[in-house]
Amino acid sequence: MLVQTCSGLARGVELEGAFVFRGIPYAAPPVGELRFKAPTPVRPWPGIRLCDQFGPIAPQKRDPNGFMPELPQSEDCLNLNVWTTGPADEPKPVLVYIHGGGFVSGKGAECDGLRYAAEDGLVYVSINYRLGALGFLYLGDLLGETFAASGNNGMLDIVAALQWVRRNIAAFGGDPSRVTVIGNSAGAKCTATLYVMEAARGWFHGAIAQSGATQSIRDRTTANVTALRLLDELDLTRAEADRLLELPAERLIEAQSAIGYDTSRSLHMFGPVADGRIIPIDPLGSLGRMGSAPALLIGTNEDEAASFIQGDPLLTPPSPDIADRLFGANAPLVWASFLRYADIMSSEAAWSRTLSEHLYTIGAIQFAAAASDAGARTWMYRLRGGGSLGAIHGYEGSLINGKHDGELPANPDDPYAVAPELYPLARHMRAAWVAFAMTGNPNVPGLPDWPTYGAKHATMVLDRQCRVGDDLPAPAGAAVAHQVWRAEACS
Closest CA relative to residue 195, chosen from 184, 209, 185, 210: 209
Q: Cα separation of 452 and 331, whole Å? A: 32
Measuring CA to CA, how many Å separate 481 from each of 33, 182, 364, 366? Answer: 38, 25, 12, 9
471 CB burial (10 A radius; 0-12, 13-18, 19+): exposed
Report whether 223 contacts 138 (CB < 8 A).
yes
Burial label for 14, CB within 10 Å (0-12, 13-18, 19+), is exposed
Within 10 Å of residue 177's Cβ, how many Cβ atoms? Answer: 11
Residue 212 and residue 484: Cα distance in Å, rounded? 14
Nearest one of 144, 67, 48 to 107, comparing CA atoms: 67
Q: Give the angle subtended at the CA of 150 by the CAs of 147 and 155, to the nearest 5°.
A: 150
Three-state DSSP at 307 gives helix
Q: Which 3 state secondary structure label does DSSP give 379?
A: strand
Half-sphere exposure of 80 (CA within 13 A, CB side): 28
Task: Determine contact, residues 212/188, Cβ cutoff 8 Å.
Answer: yes
Rounded to whole angstroms, the Cα distance separating 353 from 160 reads 38
Q: What is the DSSP letter of 25?
A: E
- The distance in angstroms from the start CA to the end CA of the chain is 49
* Residue positions annotated with a catalytic role: 185, 304, 393
The closest of 465, 423, 426, 472 to 448, measured between CA atoms, is 465
345 to 341, 349, 354, 469, 488: CA distances (angstroms)? 6, 6, 12, 22, 31
